[in-house]
Amino acid sequence: MSMSSAAIATFEITLKALSGLLDKAEAFAAAKKIDPAVLLNARLAPDMFALTRQIQVACDQAKNGSARLAGIDPPKFEDNETTVAQLKERIAKTIAFVKSLDAKAIDGAGGRAITFPLGPKKGEMKGADYFNHFVLPNFYFHAAMAYAILRHNGVEIGKQSFLAGIPIQIS
């Protein structure tokens, strides 16, 4: 499988699943008569990001990682979402951007050095290592934390909600 196929499909499937989780969170909030902002500001531990930030960072990992693999500067998305609708819009924008990238450029990145911000410093890795050992784990970490926050707060979701959209045939 090419790196572009792996990246684009992985990000699209999981980001769409996150959008579906937000739909379930919104329905849960309406049914329980709570402000959706309560869920958006929820976190698993005091020093962890809230749900909104987890989704923003998952989107950033997909967007920034894919852009760097394609050899272009990633676009900047402002981190100003405060509603479910705005987060869903960010997810949709991220998917559209990732799908717009040149697949051949991503495929050619395997052996190329990728430089990226790492806090106040810069990191550098070969493209394949960057994708497999930095971008994917960080993307899945923040996506899984978003799932865990919602699950912890009572939203009726399960593993299948997180894995929604995976192309699997069940016999």
Asked if the model's pLDDT at residue 170 lies above 80, the reply is: no
**Domain ranges across the chain:** 3-162
Q: Which fold has domain 3-162?
A: Four Helix Bundle (Hemerythrin (Met), subunit A) (1.20.120)
User: What single string gives the DSSP state of each residue in the chain?
Assistant: --HHHHHHHHHHHHHHHHHHHHHHHHHHHHHHT--HHHHHT--SSTTSPPHHHHHHHHHHHHHHHHHHHHTSPPPP------SHHHHHHHHHHHHHHHHHS-HHHHHTTTTSEEEEEETTEEEEEEHHHHIIIIIHHHHHHHHHHHHHHHHHTT----HHHHTTT------
Mean pLDDT of 117-126: 96
Mind listing the pLDDT tens digit for each residue in 54-87? 999 999 999 999 999 999 999 999 999 999 999 9
> pTM to 2 decimals?
0.95
